Amino acid sequence: MKIVRFFFIFFIFLNFYNLSYSKDNEILKNKISKNIRCLICQGQSIYDSQSDFAESMKILIEKKLNEGLNEDQVYEFLKKRYGQWITYNPDFNKNTFILWLLPILLFFVGGAIIVRKLIVQKL
């Protein structure tokens, strides 16, 4: 009787662990899918797209997560396979520094123009 009870408790625990693991993978898969561009649908993530490419990418991401890769490793795999453009949040490197620095530069130039206009109006 104790053996039956032990196996019963063991299988219940294993079932809850399995559900928790798959739920965490599903949340992570959705997070990654929202940050990956669909190469077929311009301007849409693969999470929002219903194209065949997006569906195959969702399956690929799920497969990689089930293999034990973490979020960063999945991103690196996809960047290596499809290029830097596939992510909505590109890394800071020599090819993308203008992309990252341009908004800051525009902010300072705009601020300088506003300050200059205010100073000229006071005089």
pLDDT 10s digits, 76-110:
999 999 888 888 877 777 877 787 889 999 999 99
Here the tokens at position 108 are 């300072």
Return the closest-CA partner of residue 71 out of 20, 35, 21, 23.
Answer: 35
Computed on alpha carbons and rounded to an integer, the radius of gyration of the chain in Å comes to: 24
Q: Give pTM, 2 decimals.
A: 0.61
In the predicted model, is pLDDT for residue 19 greater than 50? no
Lowest mean pLDDT among 16-30, 48-62, 85-99: 16-30
Mean pLDDT of 38-54: 86
- The residue to which tokens 């940050």 are assigned: 35
Q: Which of residues 92 and 38 earns the better pLDDT score?
A: 38
Here the tokens at position 57 are 């990418």
Residue type at 119 in one-letter notation: I
Classify domain 2-91 by CATH number. 1.10.8.640
